[in-house]
Structure 1
Amino acid sequence: MAWFCSLPVWKGDWDLPSVDPSCLAALAYCRFSGVPVKLKKIGNPWRSPSGELPIMRHKKVTETKVTEIFSYLRKQNYGCDFNLSNKQSADAIAFSSMLEEKLLPAILHLWWVDNKTYSDFTRPWYAKVLPFPLNFFIPDQIQKKASMRVTLTKGGSNVTDSELEAKIYKEAKECMNYLAYRLGKQDYFFGNAPSSLDALVFGYLAPILKAPLPNNQLQNHLKMCDNLCSLCNNILQRYLPPDPEEVEKKKAEEKSKPQSTTEYSDFPHRRRNMILAAIFALSAMAGYALLSGLIHLQITDSDEDNDLKNPHGYIQNEEDNEEYEDGRED
């Protein structure tokens, strides 16, 4: 088959093709639109231009934001909204904005800001799929970014952490109620065929529904919205069924697992690995500063020519900003 584009996404779990909302939305949209996509399930966002997944690559074009991926595919005549009326298209845009404003902050809080969930579930999962030594600092970077986004969009100088949490989850549950009301008894939001809105809603809700998070109040509320649960399950069954090879591989891994579970905090040689990771991170930062010209090396003769300095006494790699070649990772 001739692939139209490649789509590296976060790896999946819990019967999901990916655990990330944006990756799930991009996957669903490609399936709805019939895009011949070469899917790559990875655990390393290091080479992404934005440091995030998914990454859509087509020829010399690289997109990492879901809305831009949708837009680019539509321009290439791949889309699932062509049959929507003007009013339906406007509704899709309005609901998409509501999802980002009302539901996304709660998802970020649940996965990354809640201390118990992050330490007991989120960080161990990402530490397992990320390669060494990235598994020691990438989860913390994602957590800081998520926490900052939640605080900036929903917090305030006079808002306590408990008030912020209550506000976020209240708005998320109201958003789910409104989505359930809008969906009604239909298979999809705009009738019998899925749209970009269905892809986005699936991306947000499927991890809430499937991930075994501790104290998941969003999951408890979602399960009371039967039609939203049916939407997620139907999309998984019709468009994103599990790969038989992955199912067999997972079964084999489960059988080969030792009886005692290995948590992130119990990794063997953890102290040594942390030291090595710190050295790697410092070396990477120093190398980047050196190559980008932030650090200038000057060579002088300390004994005879203290007043003469080499104006070219620094090293700068002019190819640092060279665009990442399309498909190199493939």
Structure 2
Amino acid sequence: MQSSQYINQMHTADKLAEEPWPEDAKLYQPYEAEQILLPENASCLAVKAYLKMCNLPFEVRSCSNAEHMSPGGRMTKLPFIRAGAFLFAEFEPIVNFVEQKEMAIGSWQDEDEKADMRTYVSMVENIFTMAELYISFKNERVYKEVTAPRNGIVFPWPLSVMQNSSKRSNALRLLKVYQWHDLKIEDVIYKVGKCCAMLEDKLQESPDTPFFYGEMPCELDAIAFGHLFSILTTQLPNMALATTVQKFKRLVAFCQFIDEKYFQTRCI
């Protein structure tokens, strides 16, 4: 079902390619202070960073049922954007839609560099999202003290219990599909560390420029920032992911740069 929804989003994007970016585009997400979970926050922040890098106008709409309003997706289903009468959910479909309108960052890259960049994007999305889901739903203390209370806060009892059970089942199923379900926390940290090391090495290929591929941003900058910044700034009972990312000083500096340039929050 999710695969067919994902394909439908791509077909919709093709139809809208010739239309201008709507001035009233709206990005929908859960409430940040009370409700949003780590993997959802990372995905939403990545999309917001990308749209800001493209200098495209959009309005953020927070609502309690954002996930259930979403047209679907491969992982978090969030955020989703309403562009006119059409909806696009998650990072890749939204990026594809923008690219078809020739408004995208990274248009200066040649085909080889784009292929290289998209390999990194896929790695970042898969590894960090799985690690975020793992710590949020497999770690009992994080689940009981953070994930369940935040996910269930917008529902009355006993509906909150049912929603938490369903949400956790879906997360564990996704971890199983990607073969993360049976990993130990040490294995997760190892994977995150390896991903961070590869990202830091990529940054160091152009040490005098602020972005991964030089003086201008591309989609890797947006998705890496979304995940890294969310991990660094989200307070959990188990901070193993943040502690791992903090070891990579160039990545932390990269997050500070993107945050100050596009969000002006200086949160790290």
TM-score normalised by L of structure 2: 0.78
Counterpart among 227, 230, 242 of residue 207 in structure 1: 230
Q: Write the letter of the residue equivalent to 1:105.
A: M
Could you tell me which residue of structure 2 aligns to residue 114 of structure 1?
Answer: 139
Find the aligned partners of 2:60 and 2:136 in 1 and give their Cα distance. 25
Residue in 1 that maps onto 2:69: 47
Instruction: State which of 49, 56, 61 in structure 2 corresponds to 1:28.
Output: 49
Q: Is the Cα contact below 8 Å between 2:29 and 2:60 reproduced in 1? A: yes
Match for 1:78 among 103, 107, 117? 103
Deviation at 1:87, TM superposition (A): 2.6
Q: Distance in 2 between matches of 1:9 and 1:34?
A: 20
Are the structure 2 counterparts of residues 119 and 231 from structure 1 closer, same or farther at C-alpha, using a change threshold of 3 Å?
Answer: same
Q: CA deviation at 1:84?
A: 1.7
Query: Contact 2:106 / 2:216 at 8 angstroms: preserved in 1?
Result: no
Could you tell me how far 1:131 is from its partner in structure 2?
4.8
Instruction: Give the secondary structure class of the aligned counterpart of 1:20.
Output: helix
Are 1:191 and 2:214 matched, yes or no? yes
Q: 1:27 offset after TM fit, Å?
A: 0.5
Q: Is 1:240 matched with 2:260? A: no
2:225–2:255 CA contact under 8 A, matched in 1: yes
CA-CA distance at 1:239 after TM superposition: 0.9
2:92 alignment partner in structure 1: 67
Q: For structure 2, which runs of at least 5 residues remain unmatched after alignment?
A: 1-21
Aligned with 2:238: secondary structure?
coil
Correspondence for 2:151 among 117, 126, 129: 126
1:10 paired residue number: 30
Instruction: Give ranges in structure 1 of 5+ residues lacking alignment.
Output: 243-330
Q: SS at the partner of 1:239?
A: helix
Cα distance change on mapping 1:194 and 1:140 into 2, 3 Å: farther
Give the whole-Å Cα distance in 1 for the aligned partners of 2:41 and 2:174.
Answer: 17
CA distance in 1, matches of 2:151, 2:126: 25
SS class of match (2:263): coil
CA–CA separation in structure 1 for the residues paired with 2:72 and 2:163? 13
Correspondence 1:174 to 2:184? no
Counterparts of 1:21 and 1:174, CA distance in 2: 19
Q: What is the CA–CA distance in structure 2 between the aligned matches of 1:197 and 1:65, rounded to whole Å?
A: 15
1:241-284: CA deviations, max 9, x gaps?
35xxxxxxxxxxxxxxxxxxxxxxxxxxxxxxxxxxxxxxxxxx
CA apart distance, 1:135? 4.1
Deviation per residue, 1:118-140 (Å, 9 max, x gap)? 10112223334x35466444333
Q: Secondary structure at the match of 1:209?
A: helix
Q: Counterpart amino acid of 1:113?
A: K
The letter for the 2-side match of 1:124 is: P
Counting only pairs closer than 5 Å after superposition, residues 259-298 of structure 1 correspond to structure 2 as none
Specify the structure having the higher radius of gyration (Cα).
1
Partner of 1:325: none
> Which stretches of structure 1, 4 residues or longer, exceed 6 Å deviation after superposition?
none
Indicate conservation of the 8 Å contact 1:11/1:42, yes or no: yes
Cα distance in 1 for partners of 2:218, 2:29 equals 21
Q: CA deviation at 1:74?
A: 1.4
Residue of 103, 106, 121 corresponding to 2:128: 103
TM-score normalised over the length of structure 1: 0.64
The 2-side partners of 1:3 and 1:136 are apart by 39
CA distance in structure 2 between the aligned counterparts of 1:132 and 1:50, rounded to whole angstroms? 25
> CA contact under 8 A between 1:44 and 1:131: conserved in structure 2?
no
Maintained 8 Å contact 1:43/1:131: no
